[in-house]
Amino acid sequence: MAKNYTIDDWNKQAEKELREKKLSDLEWETPEGIMVKPLYTKEDLEGLEHTDGFPGLPPFTRGPRATMYSNRPWTIRQYAGFSTASESNRFYKEGLKNGVMGLSVAFDLATHRGYDSDHPRVVADVGNAGVAIDSIEDMKVLFEGIPLNKMSVSMTMNGAVLPVLGSFIAAGIEQGCSKSELTGTIQNDILKEFMVRNTYIYPPQPSMRIVADIIEFTSREMPKFNSISISGYHMQEAGANQVQELAYTLADGLEYVKIALDRGLNIDDFAPRLSFFWSIGMNFFMEVAKMRAARFMWSEMIKNFNPKNMKSLALRTHCQTSGVSLTEQDAYNNVVRTTVEAMAAVFGGTQSLHTNSFDEALALPTSFSARIARNTQLILAEETGITNVIDPLAGSYYVENLTSNIIKEAKKLMKEVEDVGGMVKAIELGIPKMRIEESSAKKQARVDSKEETIVGVNKYQPNEQQDINILSIDNEQARKEQVAKLDILKKNRDLNKVNNSLAKLISAAENNNSNLLELSIEASLNRCTIGEITEALEKVFDRHKPSSKTISGVYASSVKSNDMLSGVKKEIEIFKDKFGRRPRILVVKMGQDGHDRGSKLIATAFADLGFDVDIGPLFQTPEEAAKQAVENDVHIIGVSTLAAGHKTLVPILMKELKKLDAESIKVICGGVIPPNDYPFLEEIGVTKVFGPGTSIPDAALEIIKLL
């Protein structure tokens, strides 16, 4: 008769194999603060509140639909947009021919920030990192030959959400679609922008009014359209761990529910059309458990509002594989990373998915890399058998226990938010932003000290140089084309209708007596531009001005080996003895790119290493950056760039420094910069270019030696 072995029997056997090590040495504390054991058993399922239930039924832990992928796989989306509307349209049509089922539109930064392409502050941003949209005419070209009554369209837009969504709806109307036929999602998640991504326009309070107007209008007029995509994606991209991403995203969602209820809407009027958006990183099981925890927690939260429709309790989500996990070094490894992340999203039960291309740490994806990214999903859906069984990881001792721990930790963060008066108040106090920046600094410290392995970056580096074809956007040409189209639009439209539409928007903003989305649709149909609609509302709401604060001490305290830091600190003391002060660096972000993880990391880490650090405000022009550098008497300007504006903005910065007789100030660049651009930057006088994955202490040492 076979013996019934116990956990004690396993412990003894494991200790034999470990020899001098202890079992506790195999335990791992995650960045979320969760202790992970090397072995889980059925005892780890005892007392867990989320494990009962079925897919398609509350609390929806196992999925929002009863049959999940066994009946219909997730929607394969392609998040894309670049240059002009016509270029992006060609790309979309190619994707639709090759397996893409829904479109996800990336807009350029000028559009995100509510500027027309002819505005002087966006000379480097037009057509970079997304498609330029100035009016309904661009929106019509973007979807030419793509019937909007049949195609689901997701749009990542928050700041300029009114004119962009308004022009989309107007384009649908002029295609012959009724508003009720339009399907898709608008992100419309402004709270997250104040925490991490920074593509806001107006201050928090009027921004929340806009969110409410959109929820109200779409719930009434557009029953197939998701009025908001509550997004954790950009939090994780900014450095949040998975528990932070979950907690703050659900807290944002709760805030949006409350403002919709305050409008007099019933919970069932809008809750079934709320959707969520998660980033999927490399901790496979953590991501699966996060998505299960999210569905359980959301269902429990919405229960408090007494919905009558079961669908109000179901959290539906889109996922995107991580951008920050992609590496410039040994970039083909990114194909594997994206595959692992895509599998986590699928095992976690996503409703739609975008897979990043392997070359996105270098530049916008080529058609070749985009095809590999699409095919990754097609292979998972059609070759692996993964879709045959609903929620195959349910009952896993580890996954279920991890799900429970994530729920507990997320509730702690949500209570912290609740205790200060909700998410709007927490954002005003800077609590989530501070927590995320701390997490980001700790992550970087783990990578720099090799405590966390990134294959091809801090371990197993390749010896040979990789040759990767890079997509380059002619920003100057894109801007020229957009400006020409704007000129034609303005010559041919009815100016009385334009002025009347803008006056209505101003009045509604002042008096809160009309729905702003409804008026934005009318303005778009009358050929008002994105910039004009934005500016009209700005006259009443003003434009939000962020403060530039950094945390201190977190990076240094998270580095396990002091040897890594001591060399830098020693060189700084030598510099100080020689020149009478510490090396001073101004970290700047120019143009309209609000992704400030890189700049914040450099600022906090360099300060911890002993540099004097100034940080410029977001959305600086090169002229403003040069002036600040001279006024602050810095030795170095560190330009952080992610959105391809460096080829336009850095030359202007160099010219401005020359005008100010400040050529002695050295300029270094870091971020997402294609290697092909390095010679150009060096030719115009840039002292050094640092790509993604550079060790911060190594960069600091190199910079000191350059002074």
User: Active-site residues: which are they?
Assistant: 79, 233-234, 589, 593, 595
Decide: 703 and 668 in contact? Cβ < 8 Å. Answer: yes
DSSP 597: H
Looking at 265-310, which runs of residues are DSSP E strands?
274-280
C-beta atoms surrounding 56 within 10 Å: 16
Q: Which two tokens stand for residue 79?
A: 């998040």
* C-alpha dist (Å) from residue 326 to 275, 332, 337, 356: 26, 10, 8, 9
Q: Which residues of 399-438 are buried (b: 16+ CB within 10 A; e: fewer)?
A: bbbbbbbbbebbbebbeebeeeeebbebbeeebbbebbbb
Question: Any residues with CB less than 8 A from the CB of 572 and at least 6 apart, and which?
Answer: 582, 583, 609, 610, 611, 704
Cα(531)–Cα(21) distance, rounded to whole angstroms? 64
Cα(45)–Cα(400) distance, rounded to whole angstroms? 7
Decide: 413 and 240 in contact? Cβ < 8 Å. Answer: no
Closest CA to 586 of 644, 648, 529, 665: 665
Question: Any residues with CB less than 8 A from the CB of 397 and at least 6 apart, and which?
Answer: 40, 41, 42, 44, 45
What is the gyration radius of the CA atoms in the chain, in angstroms? 26
Cα(194)–Cα(424) distance, rounded to whole angstroms? 10
Per DSSP, the residues of 177-214 read --GGG--EEE---HHHIIIII----S-HHHHHHHHHHH
Q: How far is CA 258 from the centre of its chain?
A: 24
* C-alpha dist (Å) from residue 347 to 74, 288, 323, 388: 11, 6, 20, 12
The dihedral sign for the CA sequence 297, 300, 304, 306: positive
Cα(622)–Cα(649) distance, rounded to whole angstroms? 6
DSSP alpha helix (H) spans, 263-283: 267-270
